[in-house]
Amino acid sequence: MIRSIDEYLELLKIELKDNDAATIQDALADAEEHLRAALANLHEQQPALPEAEALNQVIEQYGSPDETASAYREVERRTSPGMRREIPAQQESGFQRFFGIYNDPKAWGALLYMLISLVTGIFYFTWVVTGLSLSLSLAIFIFGLLFAVFFMVSLRGLALLEGRIVEGLLGVRMPRRSVFFQKDTTWFERLKTNLVDKHTWLSLVYFFLQMPLGVIYFSLIVTLFSLSIALMAAPLVQTIFDFPILSIGVMRYYVPSWSTPLFLLVGFLIWTLAMHLGRWIGQVHGKYAKMLLVTE
Amino acid sequence: MVDSPAVTKKFQKEMNAGIASLVLLSVLEKSSEPMYGYQIAKLLEEYSSDASFMKQGALYPVLHSLESSGLLESKVEPSVSGPPRRYYEITADGRETLVTWQGVWKQMKSFVDRAIKGG
């Protein structure tokens, strides 16, 4: 017999242990929200009902941990996260696989992610550095504690936001809602829970590193893109505008006209390779984000 | 003889799989404001009077899946007592889909009824 909501959540977690971390987080949040609301409601209607009896009734209606777990597994099996495409079983030639990248939403999503990660990276970094230094310096005042709690809660919000971006663009399943506190905890207890929660520190590290990573991703993609465009455009630009590919002093160097197709081909190949690189980085980054941002 | 409660339970579960989406979408379409899981479960409890067709916990994964298909949208709001609540609302796509699904349901219903009656 289950004696508390926390015990129910523990059992549900065990039932779901082989599932995706994000599914587990969703399932636990749903169960906690529902069971607490149902229990409070039942207490209001029948104040005389003993706690254990009330909990039993509520769980009876909600479903035992194994029933609930199987409902999530069932639905999760039928739905796939954003943009995931099942790879067809038939063999594709290397050529098809190489150029098929243009038809892969994951590669385009990853490119977009690498571009915006510069902006989000700078924002996260600023937020984390400001929040951390203010939390530390205000710690000598009582309201400094309140500020620290606010900052840590904001980290959870940011983690959720980043999770949505990662799922949308990189196609890695991330939680759809944040972890939350129990209602009857004091500010001080919340601060303590947050301080000992490794999730808080991991997301802090993630946001900190997101700026250098964002700079690297952005530069990499912009460099490769410019290089590829430049190579493809050089022969055409020199024909139309008489613009040399290189000029040193008075010497002007032109590309011989026979090599035009070669330039087009190399530029195109570089861009195709960049797309492959982008997709690979996207996958690695998705795994890394999941490791640091999703609580087990 | 076969283990009838278990067979019936399995039958019920298989039926619920499709129907839950239609029911949830209908409930949210009728509602003038966004609803959270427990509210929906309460309402369904009223509709089903004594019989409970499915466990309330099974509604949530269906809500998530409807949301990821774009038929519902949701937002989390803090509650006065207890953890924050996720409020669900039907989207324009959801309304359109519901009309189609209602058509499918009507056809299914008359088909099944005729099959049971036999003509």
Q: What's the pLDDT at A61? A: 86
Question: Is residue B107 less than 8 Å (CB to CB) from chain A?
Answer: no
List, for residues A120-143, the tens digit of each pLDDT value.
999 999 999 999 999 989 988 888
Please give the residue range of the domain that contains residue A17: 5-78
Distance separating alpha carbons of residues A15 and A8, to the nearest angstrom:
11
Please give the residue range of the domain that contains residue B31: 4-117
Query: Out of A56-70, A91-105, A182-196, B2-16, which region has the weakest mean confidence (pLDDT)?
Result: A182-196
Question: Is residue B15 less than 8 Å (CB to CB) from chain A?
Answer: no
Q: Determine, yes or no, domain membership for A23.
A: yes
Specify the number of domains making up chain B. Answer: 1
Q: Is residue A286 located within the same domain as residue A146?
A: yes
Contact at CB, A36 and B86, closer than 8 angstroms: no
Considering the entire predicted model, what is its pTM?
0.56
Q: Is the pLDDT of residue A85 over 60?
A: no
- Rg from Cα positions in chain A: 27
Q: Is residue A45 located within the same domain as residue A106?
A: no
List, for residues B70-92, the tens digit of each pLDDT value.
899 988 887 766 677 889 999 99
CA angle A58, A64, A67 (to 5 degrees): 130
CB contacts of B38 in chain A (<8 Å) are 33-34, 37-38, 41
What token pair was written down for A195? 């301080």
Q: Is residue A138 located within the same domain as residue A278?
A: yes
List, for residues A224-243, the tens digit of each pLDDT value.
999 999 888 888 888 788 77
Question: Is residue A99 less than 8 Å (CB to CB) from chain B?
Answer: no
Residue A31 DSSP SS3:
helix
Q: Is residue A135 located within the same domain as residue A213?
A: yes
Q: Is residue A26 located within the same domain as residue A67?
A: yes
Q: Is residue A278 located within the same domain as residue A219?
A: yes
- Indicate the DSSP class of residue A71: H
Q: Is residue A269 located within the same domain as residue A230?
A: yes
Q: Is residue A179 located within the same domain as residue A277?
A: yes
Q: Determine, yes or no, domain membership for A84.
A: no
Q: Determine, yes or no, domain membership for A102.
A: yes
Q: Is residue A182 located within the same domain as residue A266?
A: yes
Q: Is residue A119 located within the same domain as residue A195?
A: yes
Question: Is residue A33 less than 8 Å (CB to CB) from chain B?
Answer: yes
Q: Is the pLDDT of residue A81 over 70?
A: no
Residue of B nearest to A42 (CA): B42
Specify the number of domains making up chain A. Answer: 2
Question: Is residue B61 less than 8 Å (CB to CB) from chain A?
Answer: yes
Q: Is residue A41 located within the same domain as residue A101?
A: no
**Residue at which a domain ends, from A78, A113, A143:** A78
CATH number for the domain spanning B73: value is 1.10.10.10
Q: Is residue A46 located within the same domain as residue A188?
A: no
Distance separating alpha carbons of residues A267 and A229, to the nearest angstrom:
6
Chain A stretch 159-198, residues whose beta carbon is closer than 8 A to a beta carbon of chain B = 176-178, 180-183
Q: Determine, yes or no, domain membership for A106.
A: yes
